[in-house]
Amino acid sequence: MIRSGIAVSRRDFLRSGLAGSALLALNGQVPAFLRQAAADAANRSDHILVVLQLSGGNDGLNTVVPYRDPLYYAHRPELGIPAGDVLKINDEVGFHAAMRGAAELLEAGKLAIVQGVGYPQPNRSHFESMDIWHTCFRKTQPRRDGWLGRYLERVPQPSELPALHIGDEQQPLALASQEVRVPSVASFEEFRLQAEPAVRRKLEALVARNAEQNDGLLDFVRSSTQAALRASQQLADIAKSRNTAGGYPRTPLGERLATIAQLIGADLPTRIYYLALDGFDTHAQQPAAHAALLEQWSMAVKAFFDELEQQGNAARVLLFSFSEFGRRVQENASQGTDHGAAAPVFLAGPGVRPGVHGALPSLEDLDDGDLKFHTDFRRVYAALLEDWLGLADSAPVLAGKYDPVPVLKKAT
pLDDT in tens, 151-187: 999 998 767 789 999 999 999 999 999 899 898 888 7
Asked whether the predicted pLDDT for residue 1 surpasses 80, the reply is no
Specify the pLDDT at position 42. Answer: 38
Specify the pLDDT at position 292. Answer: 98
Tell me the per-residue pLDDT of 64-118, one tens digit each, with 9 for 90 and over. 999 999 999 999 999 999 999 999 999 999 999 999 999 999 999 999 999 999 9
Specify the pLDDT at position 186. Answer: 81
What integer best gives the mean pLDDT of the chain?
Answer: 83
Asked whether the predicted pLDDT for residue 297 surpasses 60, the reply is yes
- Asked if 348 and 319 touch (Cβ cutoff 8 Å), the reply is yes
Tell me the per-residue pLDDT of 303-348, one tens digit each, with 9 for 90 and over. 999 999 999 999 999 999 999 999 999 999 999 999 999 999 999 9
Asked whether the predicted pLDDT for residue 408 surpasses 60, the reply is yes
CA distance 330 to 274: 32
Tell me the per-residue pLDDT of 218-233, one tens digit each, with 9 for 90 and over. 454 454 455 555 555 6
Specify the pLDDT at position 219. Answer: 53
Q: What is the mean pLDDT of residues 251-265?
A: 93
Q: What is the mean pLDDT of residues 3-15?
A: 37
Instruction: Strand 94-95: give its sheet, edge to edge.
Output: 64-65, 94-95, 87-88
Q: How confident is the model at residue 290 (pLDDT cuts 50, 70, 90)?
A: very high
Q: What is the mean pLDDT of residues 275-289?
A: 98
Q: What is the mean pLDDT of residues 197-223?
A: 54
Return the percentage of the chain with pLDDT > 90, whole number. Answer: 66
Our CA angle for 364, 90, 304, nearest 5°, is 110
Specify the pLDDT at position 7. Answer: 34
Report which DSSP code applies to 96.
-
CA distance 337 to 328: 6
Specify the pLDDT at position 137. Answer: 96
Q: Within 10 A of 17 (CB to CB), how many other CB atoms are there?
A: 14
Q: What is the mean pLDDT of residues 148-153?
A: 97
DSSP 170-188: PPPGGG--SS---EEESSG
Domains, the chain? 3-398 (3.40.720)
- Asked if 340 and 325 touch (Cβ cutoff 8 Å), the reply is yes
Specify the pLDDT at position 240. Answer: 58
Asked whether the predicted pLDDT for residue 41 surpasses 80, the reply is no
Specify the pLDDT at position 197. Answer: 57
The larger pLDDT score, comparing residue 244 to residue 296, is at 296
CA distance 361 to 116: 6
Specify the pLDDT at position 370. Answer: 97
264: left (phi over 0), alpha (psi -120 to 50) or beta: alpha
Of 44-53, 172-181, 387-396, the least confident: 44-53
Asked whether the predicted pLDDT for residue 58 surpasses 80, the reply is yes
Q: How confident is the model at residue 191 (pLDDT cuts 50, 70, 90)?
A: low
- Asked if 111 and 105 touch (Cβ cutoff 8 Å), the reply is yes
Top-ranked range on mean pLDDT: pick from 25-39, 182-196, 234-248, 398-412: 398-412
Residue 176: what are its φ and ψ, rounded to 5°? -65, 135
Asked whether the predicted pLDDT for residue 200 surpasses 60, the reply is no
Q: What is the mean pLDDT of residues 358-381?
A: 97
Q: What is the mean pLDDT of residues 249-253?
A: 93
Q: Say what the pTM is.
A: 0.82
Q: What is the mean pLDDT of residues 234-256?
A: 74
